[in-house]
């Protein structure tokens, strides 16, 4: 369990909060390129880390992410016109470029013009790896973009989505870092409905509901191994990657594998950026067709929104008859099952009332590291990871072997935890 004050520190991400400041030392995915696809496109609202922003692509294709409120009379720039390398406030015509400079004040007489003295808050933005990323920290500390493996691959090798979670970011991340729940929450799934890459993993989950967990701290976060004993001298090892502050890469026995980032919109809401990818070959049409069904790594969305079709307003399409027949939840789709549990905890779960066990060691380790890093930053110790982009390039493992120790598995798979199968 956590003390209430530590739970607050872990979950609150607005300006000036310890965890919010830690997030602001990293690039985070914020948009998908299609949201601002063309030069001089319509601006879009963007709420990120508790701040209301507006994003646009200017005439030259540069991306602007600005404070939503005009510094003149605080009108919303979401209503603005994106034209001629800037966004113009429709209230009095003030215009701002992607760097936040005021370039025009058409309501001011020439002798009183003071546009060179006015700036609006702006944040660095870059298109990279299929997403638009934003950096909201001190300009002098801006790091290079993170080199996640999926971000370095050609677009044909990945499939990406963004969707909304009605809960605090940490609740979603903790679900990712909890391998034990797969045996129970996702139990009873018919393997015939899963992609080939998931069938073997799902079978492994069902064989041992009490895996032994080992957590290994790293410069980028940690990896942890879950060992399931098959009782025939072999063990299934799943090595899950956690990359600071909010990224996971989940092991599967075969490609494609999935990476997800839980990016705080504010304290109570999260955008999830999911990337399913195959480093060795382009994604097949079968892979893409399955992912589009919403039954696996990402949910199917209500058209024109980032809201999953299966959501709390329709009780996650839970089928009690299916549940009684042996399906654990009666909820269709792995992602939908995860989201139902996480959102039902409430916007911020009351962790002071938890009773944790040995199966929660990975969750506990993540909390401790995040809290420590946030406190260190508040004391003036800057995180080193953002400035080492290659450290983000790691891979999980799902392998069945005769070795019964984590060290033996890691040694056989290489020091970067690259994909291995035996």
pLDDT, tens digit, 9 for 90 and up, residues 219-238: 999 999 999 998 889 999 99
pLDDT higher than threshold 60 for residue 419? no
pTM equals 0.93
pLDDT at 182 over 90: no
pLDDT surpassing 50 at residue 131: yes
Q: Is the pLDDT reported for residue 417 higher than 70?
A: no
Does 198 score more than 50 pLDDT? Answer: no
pLDDT over 70 (residue 202): no
Q: What pLDDT was estimated at residue 195?
A: 36
**pLDDT class for 188, splitting at 50, 70, 90?**
low
d(CA 70, CA 358): 52
Q: Which residues of 53-82 are buried (b: 16+ CB within 10 A; e: fewer)?
A: bbbbbbeeeebbbbbbbbbbeebbbbebbb
All structural domains of the chain: 27-141 (2.102.10.10), 149-413 (3.90.380.10)
State which H helix or E strand residue 122 sits in. strand 122-128
Q: What tokens appear for 43 in the block?
A: 């601006």
Specify the range with the lowest mean pLDDT, choosing from 48-57, 258-267, 273-282, 326-335. 326-335
3-state secondary structure of 413: helix
Q: Comparing 153 with 180, which gets the higher pLDDT?
A: 153
Sign of the alpha-carbon torsion through 126, 128, 134, 139: negative
pLDDT in tens, 30-69: 999 999 999 999 999 999 999 999 999 999 999 999 999 9
Question: Which pLDDT value is given to residue 204?
Answer: 63
> Cα dist. 315→331, 338, 391 in Å?
9, 13, 40
How far the first Cα of the chain sits from its last, in Å, is 39
Is a pLDDT exceeding 70 seen at residue 420? no
The residues, any chain, with a CB within 8 Å of residue 48's CB and separated by 6 or more, are 28, 30, 134, 136, 263, 264, 265
Percent of the chain's residues with pLDDT above 90: 80
Q: What is the pLDDT of residues 362-387, one digit of tens each?
A: 999 999 999 999 999 999 999 999 99
Cis amide linkage into residue 245, ω under 30° from 0: yes
What is the predicted pLDDT for the residue at 82? 98
Report yes or no: 239 and 396 within 8 Å, Cβ to Cβ.
yes
At 233, give phi and psi (nearest 5°).
90, 0
Identify how many contiguous H helices and E strands the chain contains and give both numbers. Answer: 10, 18
Please provide the DSSP assignment of 316-367 as one string. Answer: GG--HHHHHTT-SSS-SSHHHHHHHHHHHT-SS--GGG----GGGHHHHHHH
H/E stretch holding 213 reads strand 212-218
- Host H or E run for residue 273: strand 270-277
Mean of the per-residue pLDDT values of the chain:
92
pLDDT for the residue 206: 62
For residue 416, pLDDT over 60 is answered with no
Each residue of 293-343: pLDDT tens digit? 988 889 999 999 999 999 999 999 999 998 888 888 999 999 999 999 999
């Amino acid at each position: 369990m956590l003390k209430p004050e530590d739970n607050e520190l872990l979950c609150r991400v607005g300006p000036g909060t310890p965890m919010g400041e830690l997030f602001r030392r990293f690039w985070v995915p914020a948009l998908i390129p299609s949201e601002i696809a063309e030069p001089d496109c319509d601006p879009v609202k963007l709420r990120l880390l508790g701040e209301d922003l507006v994003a646009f692509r200017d005439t030259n294709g540069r991306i602007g992410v600005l404070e939503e409120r005009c510094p003149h009379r605080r009108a919303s720039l979401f209503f603005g016109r994106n034209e001629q390398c800037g966004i113009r406030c429709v209230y009095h015509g003030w215009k701002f470029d992607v760097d936040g400079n005021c370039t025009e004040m058409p309501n001011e007489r020439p002798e009183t013009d003071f546009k060179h003295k006015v700036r609006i808050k702006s944040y660095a933005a870059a298109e990279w790896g299929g997403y638009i990323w934003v950096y909201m920290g001190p300009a002098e500390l801006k790091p290079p973009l993170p080199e996640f493996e999926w971000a370095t691959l050609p677009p044909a090798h990945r499939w990406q989505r963004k969707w909304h979670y009605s809960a605090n970011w940490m609740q979603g991340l903790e679900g990712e870092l909890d391998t034990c729940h797969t045996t129970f929450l996702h139990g009873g799934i018919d393997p015939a409905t899963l992609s080939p890459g998931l069938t073997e993993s799902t079978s492994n989950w069902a064989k041992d509901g009490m895996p032994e967990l080992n957590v290994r701290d790293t410069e980028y976060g940690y990896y942890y191994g879950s060992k399931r004993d098959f009782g025939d001298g072999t063990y299934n090892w799943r090595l899950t990657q956690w990359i600071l502050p909010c990224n996971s890469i989940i092991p599967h026995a075969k490609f494609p594998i999935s990476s997800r980032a839980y990016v705080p919109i504010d304290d109570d809401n999260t955008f999830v950026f999911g990337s399913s990818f195959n480093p060795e070959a382009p994604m097949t049409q079968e892979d893409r067709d399955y992912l589009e069904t919403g039954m696996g790594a990402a949910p199917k969305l209500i058209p024109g929104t980032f809201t999953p079709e299966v959501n709390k307003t329709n009780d996650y399409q839970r089928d009690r008859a299916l549940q009684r027949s042996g399906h654990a939840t009666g909820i269709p789709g792995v992602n939908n099952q995860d989201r139902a549990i996480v959102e039902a905890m409430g916007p911020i779960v009351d962790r002071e009332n938890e009773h944790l066990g040995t199966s929660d060691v990975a969750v506990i380790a993540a909390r401790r590291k995040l809290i420590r890093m946030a406190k260190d930053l508040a004391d003036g110790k800057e995180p080193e990871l953002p400035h080492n982009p290659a450290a983000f390039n790691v891979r999980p493992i799902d392998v069945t072997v005769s070795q019964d120790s984590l060290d033996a598995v890691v040694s056989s798979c290489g020091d970067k935890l690259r994909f291995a199968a035996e």
